[in-house]
Each structure stands twice: as C-alpha cells, then as structure tokens.
Structure 1
Amino acid sequence: MSIYDSNSYFSCMISVSIIGAGNVATHLYKVFKKSEQVSVVQWYSRDLNKIKSYKNAVAITDQLSELELADIYIIAVSDDAIASVSEQLPFKDRLVVHTSGSVSIYDLDKKNKRGVFYPLQTFSKEAKVDFKKVPICIETIGKKNLPLLQSLAEAIGSKVYKVNPDQRKALHLAAVFVNNFTNQLYRIAHEITESEGVEFDILKPLILETANKVQHLSPYLAQTGPAKRNDKKTIKRHLKQLESEHHKAVYTLLTESIKKTHGR
C-alpha cells in the first residue's frame, strides 16, 4: 500500500454520477457539490423519496436506463447489491467504481472499466464529515484510470492510497475492530452507567484520550488496566458486578485477549 503520488490526471471538471442514496452516497454528494473540480451530473436512487429534497440542486432519477454520460459512475449501495446494480447498467466501456471496503473489484460487471473508490471512514447522515481527514483507497484493473480516481479524491481534499485487493480487505476488517466493535463497547458501557443512573458523558474525556494516545503510541504500548496487570481480584469483582451474561462474556473474552497479548 502506498500514497498515490502521480501527476493529477484532470485539470478540468470531473463529472460523476452517484448511484445509491445511503450514508456514503449522501456524504459524497455533499462534498462533491462543494468542490469546484467536480460536477455531479446525476443522482440515482430506486426510491426517489430518499433524494427528492435535492431535486432542485441535481438531476435525480429512479431509472438506470436514464443515466447520462459521466466520467465516473459511483455505485454506493449495500455490498450485496453492488453486483446486481452493476449488471443492470445500460452502457459499456465507462468507468464504474464501488465504494465498498470488502467487495471484490471483480464483482463489478466486466462490460465496463472497473475500479474502487473506498473512503475509509464511518458515515452517518446526521454527522458531518471532513473529507480532508478521510483517506480514500483506490484500486483499478490496469493503471490507466488510477490518475482519474486520484484526481477525484484530491478534488475533495482527501489523501489518496493505492491499494491492492488484499490490503483493502485487511483495512476493512481492521476498521470493523476499531470502529464497529469499539462502538459496541461504548454501548455496553452506556448500559452499565445507565443501570446505576450515572451519566455516560463522564466517560467521554477518557474515550477521547484513548483515541488520542494511539496517534503517538502503538496500541500495544498504550494498553493499561487490570487485564494487562493481571489484577485478578479486580477482574473477579468486575465479573461479579456485571449482571448481564452477555456483558460477562464480552468482558472475559477481551480480558483473556489482553492477558495473552501481554504475556499474563
């Protein structure tokens, strides 16, 4: 994996068509509209109600057969739907990319030029995203279209990484651990504090410090707590304190993982 540093391909406007209306598609639309180097020519959703509020700003459609000419067609739909949507596209020899971290580039129909434009970030429609802090991982079959995807990422201020399929899948798997699983642990912590009427907000400075620490230290060196110290009495008290068997199982699994990592 490397930061892609070839010369920008396009000095003029890059036209894109967005296919999908979920979190990623919505955030991409918003950041593309702000860029002076990107033109969103069309936005497709099979359910027009999801994007009708944007109809005065961009051409919208619920018919794939109505897709107009664009430099790049970005499929931002659920992983399971990528292959089907790609197969239904009514044209060939155009550049079609998906935004998934785990779906193969070869799931895209081979009648078109294929690529991946993967923004490695968590997206919720309600939360603002600064794309200057979002790494974009790009992948194509052949090198010809890499500069175009690089230019698109640069047009929204993102850092660009050229990755191969195995690297992208590894990044996505790692992202599930650092984001999705971590967020679930936040949820468990919220349930624990709620059970005693304590404000979850009291934990937020600790959450921020934990995230900030790994900007400067490796996760291995940043680890603290009773499991690393093998503080058996504290661990026993915690397990007794937990009422939910599910919470106990999670606590035990992570405790054993930390102990194994640190040789306890």
Structure 2
Amino acid sequence: MISVVILGAGNVATHLFNAFDNADTVTVNQWFNRNIDSLQSYKNRVDITDDLAQLKEADLYIIAVSDDAVANLSTKLPFENRLVVHTSGTVNIHDLDKKNRRGVFYPLQTFSKSAALDFANVPICIETIDKSDLKILKTLSKAIGSKSHKVNTNQRKSLHLAAVFVNNFTNQLYRVAHEITEDQGVEFDILKPLIMETAKKVQELSPYNAQTGPAKRNDKKTIAKHLELLKNEQHKAIYELLTASIQKTHGVSTAATVRAKKK
C-alpha cells in the first residue's frame, strides 16, 4: 500500500485524488489546500487541511499547484528527507527544495474537473533525483492503470511544448471552426466525425503521412477561395500561416499560392 498526501486542489489534483481513491493499493492520507473551502465536498472521503504544520506522514507528497507556486510550497513543507514530487510539465526537478527527496509525477493529459477521465489513457512521465525513488512512482502509476515513462527534465519540457500544439492549439482551431460554422448557421456537430477520424488516423499513420487538404496538394483555387471567405483577419492570418507551414513540410512551392491570393 502506498500512502499519499496531495497538495493543491486544481484540475490535476482532483483527478489524481479520484484515481488514488479508487485504487486498491493506494491510500490518500490527507489532502491539503490553502483555501480549505475548495475541499469541503471531500471531507467525508479524506482528511482535509489548510495547515502545512498538520501534514500527516506518507510515502509520497504530491505538489499539484500552479507552476509558479511549486518551488515556494516545497520550501514551506515542515519536514525533511521525504519523497516530494510535482506534477508540472515545465518546472525543473531541481526547483523543489533539496531538503527532501525530489521527483516528478507528470500526467500528460488534458484535465477538466467536470470531464471524467480514465487513467489508462494517461501516460505518466516520471523523474527522480535518487534512482531508488523511481520504483515508488512506477508502482503508483501502475496502481491507477497508467503507463509510466522515465524522462528527464528537458525531455519533459519538450513533451509539454508538443502537448500545447496537439491539445491547446488544436482546441483553439476547433474554436475558430466553430465561429466559421456559427457565422453561417451551420451546426459545428457536423464536423465531429471528421475530428474523430483525424485523431484516429494519426494513431496508425505518422502526422506527415496523414496530412491531406488543399495546402498539401497545392490547390491554389481552393486556397484563394478560402482566404476570400475569411472576413476575420486573425482567422485569415492563421490560415495563411498553417498553409505555408504545410507546404514547406511537404515541399510545395508557396509562390503560386501567394500570387493566387493576390488576384
């Protein structure tokens, strides 16, 4: 049995608590947050506190707060030589106070409190200063059904950057598409099968081989028509930037496209 104390009450902390609470071999000894009101709905399931001085002993302390708050919170922990990890994709492992054993338990997934999540679909990137501490993080990952991946800080930062592209930026493109369809009174839901098929296809093909569309085939007339339809200048700039990026990736000359756009 692995005992855990969670520090923080955001999206990641909440999903981790639920995963740990449902795991047979994990027990959450305590849940800390500086604003205890955020934890009141869980008080019948776990011991809650807003007092760091009252933290219980555990095998592992998981700091799941905003990136800017990780280092400061780690210095305030009232104990030494215990395993303390953070859940950030960008914070350096050495930003944790060295009075404790340090590690990273980074779940690479998008988290929203209102959306259910199966941790079988959440890869966990783990890192420790002491090699002997890797075992507990691997065991914890396995206990909640996740596959663990040993990565160093630079690799984790690169994964987080890549995640912004495939998740946050992609979601913003969904929002742009929603605005375009909404402007013409068309249901955005009509696009959802395409969204699902695109995501499915990249599971089997590389993104390079999965690419289709007017930019890749240098369909100048379609590109020009699209640019003409776009009245929002920001949307037009995004379209031009992504078209140029696709064409550069696939060795398509952009000169003809630029000329077609100017007609």
TM-score (norm 1): 0.94
1:227 aligned onto 2:215: yes
User: Quick one: distance in 2 between partners of 1:82 and 1:145?
Assistant: 20
3-state SS in 1 of match to 2:132: coil
Structure 2 residue identity aligned to 1:133: N
| Partner of residue 255, structure 2 | none
Equivalent residue for 2:33, pick from 45, 48, 57: 45
Write out per-residue CA displacement over residues 192-227 of structure 1, whole angstroms, 9 at most, x where no aligned residue.
111011110000000000000000000000000000
Q: C-alpha distance in 1, partners of 2:182/2:75?
A: 48
Structure 2: distance between partners of 1:191 and 1:67: 48
Structure 1, gaps ≥5 residues long: 1-12
| Aligned mate of 1:172, from 160, 179, 183 | 160
Superposition misfits of 4+ residues, deviation over 6 angstroms: none
Partner of 2:75: 87
Structure 2 gap segments, 5+ residues each: 253-263
Query: How does 1:184-203 map onto structure 2 within 5 Å?
Result: 184-203=172-191
Q: Distance in 1 between matches of 2:29 and 2:100?
A: 19
Contact 2:10/2:65 (CA < 8 Å) preserved in 1?
Answer: yes
- The aligned counterpart of 2:205 is 217
Matches of residues 116-155 of structure 1 in structure 2 within 5 Å? Answer: 116-155=104-143
CA offset at residue 30 of structure 1?
A: 0.3
Separation in structure 2 between the aligned mates of residue 248 and residue 64 of structure 1, nearest angstrom: 51
Native 8 Å contact 2:4 2:27 kept in 1: yes
Give the CA deviation at 1:174.
0.6
Matched, 1:204 2:205: no
Aligned to 2:66: 78
Distance 2:116 2:23 in 1: 16
Q: Distance in 1 between matches of 2:179 and 2:143?
A: 42
Please say if 1:113 is aligned against 2:101: yes
**Contact preservation (8 Å) 2:123, 2:147:** yes
Aligned to 1:26: 14
Considering only CA atoms, is the larger Rg found in Structure 1 or Structure 2? 2
> Amino acid of the residue matched to residue 138 of structure 1?
I
Q: Which residue identity is paired with 2:204?
A: H
Q: Scaled by the length of structure 2, what TM-score is found?
A: 0.95
Q: Is the CA contact (8 Å cut-off) linking 2:87 and 2:107 kept in structure 1?
A: yes
Tell me the residue number matched to 2:148. Answer: 160
Q: Secondary structure at the match of 1:41?
A: strand
Letter in 2 for 1:252: E
- Residue type at the aligned position of 2:115: A
Distance 1:84 1:241 in 2: 50
CA distance, structure 2, for counterparts of residue 239 and residue 63 of structure 1: 57
How far apart in 1 are the matches of 2:53 and 2:174? 44
Structure 1 residue 142, shift from structure 2 partner: 2.2
**Higher RCO (C-alpha 8 Å, min separation 6):** 1
Q: Distance in 1 between matches of 2:224 and 2:33?
A: 53
Structure-1 separation of matches of 2:59 and 2:72: 21
Shift of 1:190: 0.5
Question: Percent same amino acid at aligned positions?
Answer: 69
Aligned position for 1:254: 242
Give the root-mean-square deviation of aligned CA atoms: 0.6
1:169 CA drift (Å):
1.0
| Number of the residue aligned with 1:7 | none
The answer on whether the counterparts of 2:101 and 2:130 sit within 8 Å (CA) in structure 1 is: no
* Structure 2 counterpart of 1:249, one-letter code: A
Equivalent residue for 1:4? Answer: none
